[in-house]
Amino acid sequence: MIGLTHYLVISALIFSIGLMGVLRRRNLLMLFFATEVMLNAVNIAFAAISHYYNDLTGQMFAFFIIAIAASEVAVGLGILIVLYKKHGSLDLDDLANMKG
Amino acid sequence: METLVYIALFAPFASSLFAALFGMSPKQTFVGIVASLLLFASFCASAMLAFHVWTTGAGIHVTMMDWISAGDLHIPFGFVVDQVSVTMMTVVTLVSTVVHVYSIGYMDHDKSFNRFFSYLSAFVFSMMILVMSDNFAGLFIGWEGVGVCSWLLIGFWYHKEDVSREENPSISPSWAANEAFIMNRIADLGMLIGLFILYWNVGSLQYDVVFAALPDLSGSVLNAAAIALFIGAMGKSAQFPLHTWLTDAMEGPTPVSALIHAATMVTAGVFLVIRANPLFSMTPEVSYFIAALGTFVAFFAASMALVNRDLKRIIAFSTLSQLGYMFAAAGLGAYWIALFHLAAHAFFKALLFLGAGNVMHAMHDELDIFKMGGLKKAMKWTYIYMGVASLALAGIPPFAGFFSKDAIIETAFNEGTLFLWVILVVTAGMTAFYSFRQVFLTFEGDERYKAFGIHPHEMYKYVLIAMSPLAILAVIAGFAQGTFEHFVTKLLPDYHMSEHTHHLSMMLGLIVLAFAVGGIVLAYRKYYKGLKRDKKLENSFTYKLLANQYYIPNLYEAIITKPYAMLSEMMWKDVDMKIVDATVDGIAKFLYKSGDASRKMQTGNLSNYLNWMAVGSVFLLVIAVISAMFV
Amino acid sequence: MLQPINVSLESLNLITLAPMLIAVAGGLIILILDLINGKLHKSLYVMLTILVLVVDFGATLGLNVNERGFFDVMLIDGVSIVSQLLIIVASIIFTPLALTSKRFHEYSYPEFFALFLFMVAGFQFMVASDNLILIFVGLETASLALYTLIALHNRSNSYEAAVKYFTMGALAAGFFAMGSAVIYGLTGSIELYRVADVLAARMNETGLMIAVFGSAVLLLVAFAFKLSLFPFHTWAPDVYEGASAPLAGYMSVVPKVAAFVVSIRIFGMYIDLGVEWVRIVIIVLAVLTMTLANVMALVQEDVKRMLAYSSISHAGFIIAALALDTTEGTTAIFFYYALFMFTNLGAFTMLWISRHKVRRFDARYDHPYEKFAGMISIRPVGAVIMAIFMLSLAGVPPFSVFWGKIYVMQAAVNSGYVWLAVVMGLNSAIAAYYYLKLVVYMFLKEPVKDVDTVQYNSSKPLMAVVGFATLATVAAIFYVQPLVSYIYYMISASGY
Amino acid sequence: MENILSILVFFPAIAGLLGFVVDKESARAYGITVAAIEFLLSVWLWFSFDTANAGMQFVELIPIIPDFGISYYLGVDGISLFIILMATLMTLIGMMSMSITENIKNMIITLLFLEMTMVGVFVSLDAIIFYLFWELSLVPMLYIIGAWGGPLRVYAAVKFFLYTFTGSLIMLVGMLFVAYVYHNLTGVWSFAITDWYALVLPVNYQLWLFAAFFVGFAIKVPMFPFHTWLPYAHGQAPTIGSVILAAVLLKMGTYGFVRFSLPMFPDASVMAIMPIAALSIVMIIYTAMVAYAQKDMKQVIAYSSVSHMGIIMLGIFAMNAEGISGSVFQMLSHGIVSGALFMLVGVIYDRRHTKLMSEFGGLASVMPKYAVIFGIMLMASVGLPLTIGFVGEFLVLLGFYHVSPVLTALAGTSIIIGAIYMLTLFKKSFFGPVTNEANKTLKDLSSKETWSLVPLVLIVVWLGVYPKPVLAPIDNSVKAMLAFMDAKAITQEAKDMIKVSKTTLNRGEVK
């Protein structure tokens, strides 16, 4: 039977995948996806724990995360669009005007 | 009587200030006259005080005001006029007055005439403080004061250039002045330490308090204090090894040499030993050392005088030698004899210097006696004066030197220190030789100066007259020996020859006299007829050794002056700049460099930033795990 | 049997929500005004914003200490009141900086002001709750608004800054969410006071420690990012450089105060629970942050970037006070920020005043040191004021930051961390170098030619702000006492 | 006038603020007037000072931050009184002799602010207020060195600032710790020094705190090996900067030792005697040698300052009234003499724009007045009796002899090597023939220069001959302090070492 542990392991795995994506990806869009993956991993964890405790708070948290992730994407994409207009690229390595 | 004390003390000060007012203006003869009059006033006051002390037998003690008081230390400006100080006062003011008058003539053509009088009177003032003070700190004021005045006066012709040691052994007046000051400072440190020792063991620096407390002190404290004070005396009285400055000090104008470097200041060391006789008489080892050193210096200086060609330097060496005699006497406990020789020596030595000054004046500042000769025609009076002074110096009866020096030599015999006695006797012979070598080479024989186109002339009349008191005293002072003894031994411990010595005294005197006469005869035979140079002798090692003052100045330069300069340079450039400062800057540079290094993490690349975050979290996790293991 | 839902309005205690609601309403009003008439001048919006904030301030001041409201998710304790007041005051000072003499892109949008007010509301939510959901929501509301505000500056660098901040912020958000999940999993609760109770009961269980540490690490990463602690600070210099000067100044104070409040709540809980490790880690991070930020600031060529590093260093300084977990330490945080706020905003305002439309001195930087060379002979008063700000930041008495500094150091000493105080002292000395560098440029160097326009962007409102900041910096000694006693009272009342 | 100290502190500052309004041409006159009024005020302070009272006088106490325990707490005793007088005097004289014309207004205003901080340091009885003025004094000095200095001025100014700043931050931690301990013992926060005096600290605390304060003070003094900022600062500073720096700012360090370290940590101070004496002696001898190696007149005097400060340090740690009173007196004497010497170097620098000794020679013939005053100051500097320089040096050495005869002998070499570098300086610059063409036409002292130097000469002689009016109040306060230290010391060694004078007055009102 699939228990809490399985969910938590899955959640941890997906979180790590998301994290690796954030660390390794060079395209900003992919980076955003990776962060979404991470947040969704958290959602899995919350839902599972919520079920385990038979407590709705976790699911509430998950809903809030979904909402925030959505607005994050909205704002993020907006910024990306103006950036793309200015730079013509979404490659991370092109984005190093400021350093030192 | 207090008024007299203050007159004696402050008249020279007034004189100095008065002359200083005109210090930067051109020569004004009245400055010299006023200064001399004030000095004469001081002399009169001193003489009256002397008479007072003589008649009443009691000293005068005045306290003017507080000087320093801190903690438990209280130092007043206090002055004491007793048998010892009044003797010194009289001698000092007398010689000073003569020298002041003399200087009016001698410094006639100098543009800094007024300044000279200012310095000279300031010196007398300092010297008066030195001898009159009722405490060691006051003595130290005068001690340093005469040091500064000596510095000013040696370097009086400061505008002269530095030359090599071969050309002029003293390099330049300003060099000689600095040398004198610094060497004296070395000794002054010893003196200061002596003061500290006395203060912390007695709680005061007043003579009377200190001397009264001496019996309660332990032997080591007494010895330490005596040694320290004597180191001070060694500097001022130019005892070996701090003697080189004295001959170099001859760079100063001749009246200065007469006053400071013959009659007064250099005897301050002897005065100190006499003043502190309660201390020194309780430390026989130190006293014996003083006597031995004095004897050594007497011989050592006389040996250098034998071959010197410089008129003033010969006299300077003789001063050194006579100081050695005085220390020998003081060290052997014959304080009153030392003081007696001090006074007598002041008269004839000042006279000798002033005579030398006349010669210089006549010879246009030429000092090499090999270039003189036959001056007696032009300078009869000077010849007489110098002759008298030399006879006194050589210890020929009935001149003053005979009595005083003979007493010292007799003391050495009396104390059983035969070795010292022998040396002192030999030295007496040497003294007679070099004195007359100088007199004969200067005044007798062929007129070598003509080759240099010099036309000598006698000094001004009033100058010669002014010198006469010294000449008279040089002749007659010796007869006052008994009176003097009676006078000063009210304060100083009396010293009597033992029966044995007393019996032999005639014979001892004759031995000394024989040596002295022998010296004169030798000088007569070699130099009376004129200068015959002996190349072989002059090239011998001993001759060169003596002529170069045993190479001691060169030695000092090689082992002290130059290494000090080198070490200083090294301290600055290598230690201060390259180690101390570089460390400080190094820390700053390190921080700056680490800034440069760490800003590299700020690549500007977002990916790197995100990686840093990951690294950070791993770092935190690692710490977490590690601490979890230890919890 | 189902119970009918029955919520009494009184138990909601809506007054606790009033400050945030005012800010949100203000933002909405601005948007509506813009809808009605799109041609209104920015000065109207500026004044409106200030008015809203003033009302907000009043509402916050009127709150009672230690109340809960709105289903107990709102927590109005002393910490939240003090921090809200700080946030609002900083916002009030910030707002007039829009009224520059030259036209700048972002201020022409009324949305700027609306977003700004939303952001303030977000921060207020963040500090006024101990519910992790509400904290998260507030945090994200504020952050998203902030990203937009940065990007509105409409320069290539601003976009870059916004993207960097945004991406890293998103990652941090992920960490925060995960950390919350772990806490939830551990305790079945996301309200910190309950979490603390449960954890306290379970502390002795074996194996629990690892989970506790895990949650702590995840949350620490999230807030270390917000507080720009080493090595999570990397965004800060770039974002400060890319953002406009006033916004950079604002960012160095307000988001950090908010993040500090949450950190106090979360990490204070851990430390109280006896997880000594959290304290150690925070102190290590604090020392690393202040030192490394300082040495990196030494080598900067641009004043704004230097100030960015200096802000990081100051944050490191203060986080150390957090680790002490004493009333004094917590007081020190707010006290320091209250004093730091004036000086820092003043300094950034000075930069803003000297801002040109195009870069005249350097291809990359707006405010290279050379720009200020010889300012004493061009604008003596400006130079003196800027020097006062720099000296204050360096901790020279009697200027404001000095008092904060000794309070923090005293707190460290009182908790037995004398070595920490010494490290703080040494760091202040290092920091003095780069502040001094600007002073040296202004006072001791010859002016570079063609710099008659050091006060290019000046205007009366900006001068007023600078004047106020100067006064607050110089006269700190006179208000330190009431300030510190008020903060101390508030903090101790809320049990920290 | 009970609040004369406040007036003394803030009068120059207010005058400085008003100075912004004064016209550029009149700025100098304005500055001199203000400084003169300030000086007269301080003289008045002296006359109204009760010399029989060894305690603090003219005390003003206004709590400003009671929660921290910080109050505006001022007062003077015999130790600080004369340093204040010297500070105001040297500011006045420095301004009178100032030859700067460029940006004169800024200079005057800066100097007036500097004067506030200097007076403030010496009247503060609250550690934080003390620290406040202490740090604040760096700022005007930084500006003076940096704006009017030589080619390396920025480096020198920043080095000066950072070095001192670093040290004082460590000291600040020490102060905070004392306050903490005080709070622990009494439950009250206080930074008042007089309150702190009452603390009896365990020896290990004392040692650490002593070390913390030591760092702050030693850098300021500056003690070897923390002295390297000083030659740069002096070398680059304009004359007025060097004068104030040498005369007053350095004294803050030694004053700090007397005011804080000794009475607060008597046991630690006694334990520190030997290390500090060792450092001081290294400082005396080593820097004197370095001074001898210098080519630049000003650097010679700068290094000589360090050497003389070594003497002062030695005296402070003599632990007897002779030494400490001597030290305080030597602070005054060094202030006046080195201030005057820097002014004198400034005189020649104004004429020739060089300070290298090799450029000169024979100045005595060209500028006799100058040479005379230089000579007097030189003699005071080498400690000739009857000048101000002797009294302090003598007392210090005398006092320290009680602690260690051998070390005193070593320290005493300062009178020899001091003479060496000073006389060499004098000989190289003033004696010998005038070789350099440019020197032949030099003008002697102008009346402005003469009138600023002559008062110093008079003081040098007056206090050399009759130091009592100054020395007696100092001595009273020092004796009271020693008696207090002795009573407070915990360890027997400290009690043995601290020598209480037999004639100690009652210390006045001490809380």
pLDDT surpassing 80 at residue B95: yes
Q: Where are the alpha helices (DSSP H) in C128-189?
A: 132-151, 156-187
Triad C344, C315, D219: Cα angle to 5°? 80
What local confidence, expressed as pLDDT, does residue D33 receive? 95
Res. C451 pLDDT band, cuts 50 70 90: low
N- to C-terminal Cα distance for chain C?
Answer: 43
Q: Where are the alpha helices (DSSP H) in C105-131?
A: 110-127
What local confidence, expressed as pLDDT, does residue D509 receive? 40
B6's tokens: 């203050």
How crowded is the C-beta side of D247, counted as CA atoms within 13 Å?
A: 32
Burial of B222 (0-12, 13-18, 19+ CB in 10 A): buried
Question: Which residues 565-624 on chain B approach chain D with CB closer than 8 angstroms?
Answer: 565, 567-569, 571-573, 575-576, 580-581, 583-584, 588
Instruction: Say if residues C305 and C347 touch (Cβ distance below 8 Å).
Output: no
**Across-strand partners of D74?**
D60, D124
Question: Which residues 581-600 on chain B approach chain A with CB closer than 8 angstroms?
Answer: 599
A45–C181 CB contact, under 8 Å: yes
A72–C170 CB contact, under 8 Å: yes
D106 in C contact zone (CB under 8 Å): yes
D115's tokens: 């004067």
Tell me which residues of chain C have a C-beta less than 8 Å from any C-beta of chain A.
Answer: 132-133, 136-137, 140, 144, 147-148, 151, 156-157, 159-164, 166-167, 170-171, 173-174, 177-178, 180-181, 184-185, 188-190, 237-238, 241-242, 300, 305, 364
User: Which residues of chain A are within 8 Å of residue B606 when distances are taken between CB atoms?
Assistant: 92, 95-96
Per the domain annotation, does A98 fall within a domain?
A: no
Nearest to D408 by CA among B223, B202, B193, B235: B193
Domain that holds residue A25: 4-90
Which residues are CB-neighbours of B117 under 8 A, at least 6 positions away?
B15, B16, B19, B31, B32, B35, B100, B103
Query: What is the residue whose two structure tokens read 């210096």?
Result: B297
C234–B602 CB contact, under 8 Å: yes
CATH number where A69 lies? 1.10.287.3510
Residue from B10, B68, B181 to probe the interface with D (highest D Cβ count within 10 Å): B68
Instruction: Say if residues D485 and D317 touch (Cβ distance below 8 Å).
Output: no
How crowded is the C-beta side of B390, counted as CA atoms within 13 Å?
A: 29
**Across-strand partners of B41?**
none
Pick B607's closest partner by Cβ from A19, A26, A99.
A26
CA distance B194 to chain D (A): 10
Per the domain annotation, does A80 fall within a domain?
A: yes
Between CA B254 and CA B311 the distance in angstroms is 11
pLDDT surpassing 70 at residue D368: yes
D40's tokens: 């007269």
What local confidence, expressed as pLDDT, does residue C453 receive? 58
D378's tokens: 């030189």
Per the domain annotation, does A47 fall within a domain?
A: yes
C436–D161 CB contact, under 8 Å: yes
B125-173 tens-digit pLDDT: 999 999 999 999 999 999 999 999 999 999 998 888 888 888 888 888 9
Per the domain annotation, does A65 fall within a domain?
A: yes
B327's tokens: 């220390």
Q: Where are the alpha helices (DSSP H) in C369-459?
A: 375-378, 380-394, 400-414, 418-444
Residue D222: is the preceding peptide bond cis (ω within 30°)?
yes
Which H or E run contains B20?
helix B2-21
| One-letter amino acid of C16 | T
- Number of domains forming the structure of chain A: 1
What local confidence, expressed as pLDDT, does residue D327 receive? 95
Residue from B598, B601, B605, B611 to probe the interface with A (highest A Cβ count within 10 Å): B605
Instruction: Say if residues B450 and B371 touch (Cβ distance below 8 Å).
Output: no
**Residue pairs spanning A and B at CB distance below 8 A:** 28
Residue D12: is the preceding peptide bond cis (ω within 30°)?
no
Between CA C462 and CA C465 the distance in angstroms is 5
* Per-residue CA distances from C351 to B112, B526, C305, C393, D484 (Å): 67, 98, 11, 15, 54
D442 in C contact zone (CB under 8 Å): no
Q: Where are the alpha helices (DSSP H) in A1-100?
A: 4-24, 28-53, 57-87
Which residues are CB-neighbours of D427 under 8 A, at least 6 positions away?
B174, B175, B178
Instruction: Say if residues B128 and B91 touch (Cβ distance below 8 Å).
Output: no
What pairing do the DSSP bridges indicate for beta strands C67-69 and C74-76? antiparallel
D278-288 tens-digit pLDDT: 999 999 999 99
Which residues are CB-neighbours of D236 under 8 A, at least 6 positions away?
D145, D149, D150, D151, D152, D153, D155, D156, D157
Largest CA distance in chain B: 117
What local confidence, expressed as pLDDT, does residue D507 receive? 46
What local confidence, expressed as pLDDT, does residue A95 receive? 81
Res. B631 pLDDT band, cuts 50 70 90: low
* DSSP tag of C191: B
Which H or E run contains D64?
strand D57-65
A6's tokens: 């399985």
What local confidence, expressed as pLDDT, does residue D504 receive? 63
Question: What is the model's pTM?
Answer: 0.93
Per the domain annotation, does A97 fall within a domain?
A: no
C-beta neighbour count of C464 within 10 angstroms: 13
Residue B241: is the preceding peptide bond cis (ω within 30°)?
yes
Between CA C84 and CA C80 the distance in angstroms is 6
Nearest to C98 by CA among C54, C53, C145, C42: C42
Name which of B210-214, C69-73, D476-480, D505-509 the model is least confident about.
D505-509
Nearest to B623 by CA among C367, C224, C29: C224
Per the domain annotation, does A99 fall within a domain?
A: no
* Per-residue CA distances from C283 to B619, C319, C419 (Å): 14, 8, 11
Res. B600 pLDDT band, cuts 50 70 90: confident
Which H or E run contains C213?
helix C208-226
Per the domain annotation, does A71 fall within a domain?
A: yes
C-beta neighbour count of B452 within 10 angstroms: 12
Nearest to C246 by CA among C153, C122, C135, C114: C153
C399-439 tens-digit pLDDT: 999 999 999 999 999 999 999 999 999 999 999 999 999 99
Nearest to B208 by CA among B140, B142, B276, B286: B276
A42 in C contact zone (CB under 8 Å): yes
How crowded is the C-beta side of B40, counted as CA atoms within 13 Å?
A: 12
Nearest to A56 by CA among D25, C71, B397: C71
Question: Which residues 359-418 on chain C approach chain B with CB closer than 8 angstroms?
Answer: none
Res. C8 pLDDT band, cuts 50 70 90: confident
Between CA D314 and CA D218 the distance in angstroms is 13
> In percent, how much of chain B has pLDDT > 90?
48
Residue D225: is the preceding peptide bond cis (ω within 30°)?
yes
Residue C398: is the preceding peptide bond cis (ω within 30°)?
yes
D154 in C contact zone (CB under 8 Å): yes
What local confidence, expressed as pLDDT, does residue D510 receive? 40
Pick B620's closest partner by Cβ from C167, C281, C430.
C281
Res. C474 pLDDT band, cuts 50 70 90: very high
* DSSP tag of D26: G
A95–C238 CB contact, under 8 Å: no
Which H or E run contains B62?
strand B60-70
B70–D415 CB contact, under 8 Å: no
Contact present, B and A (at least 3 Cβ pairs less than 8 Å) = yes
Looking at every residue in chain B, the average pLDDT score rounds to 89
Between CA C318 and CA C320 the distance in angstroms is 5
| One-letter amino acid of D38 | E
* Per-residue CA distances from D327 to B285, B335, C362, D478 (Å): 37, 40, 55, 10
Between CA B410 and CA B504 the distance in angstroms is 9
Instruction: Say if residues D407 and D318 touch (Cβ distance below 8 Å).
Output: no
D309's tokens: 């400060």
User: Which residues of chain B are within 8 Å of residue A100 when distances are taken between CB atoms?
Assistant: 599, 602, 604
C-beta neighbour count of C5 within 10 angstroms: 5
Nearest to B350 by CA among B117, B42, B88, B95: B95
What local confidence, expressed as pLDDT, does residue C446 receive? 84
D397-411 tens-digit pLDDT: 999 999 999 999 999
D103-161 tens-digit pLDDT: 899 899 999 999 999 999 999 999 999 999 999 999 999 999 998 988 999 999 999 99
Torsion over CA: D313, D315, D318, D319 (sign): negative
B602 in A contact zone (CB under 8 Å): yes
A35–C167 CB contact, under 8 Å: yes
C396–D106 CB contact, under 8 Å: no
What local confidence, expressed as pLDDT, does residue C452 receive? 58
pLDDT surpassing 60 at residue D511: no
Mean pLDDT for C314-342 is 92
Per the domain annotation, does A96 fall within a domain?
A: no
Task: Please report all neighbours of C, defined by 3+ CB atom pairs within 8 A.
Answer: A, B, D
Q: Where are the alpha helices (DSSP H) in D65-126?
A: 78-97, 104-123
What local confidence, expressed as pLDDT, does residue D361 receive? 84
Q: How many residues does chain D have?
A: 511
C162's tokens: 């916004």
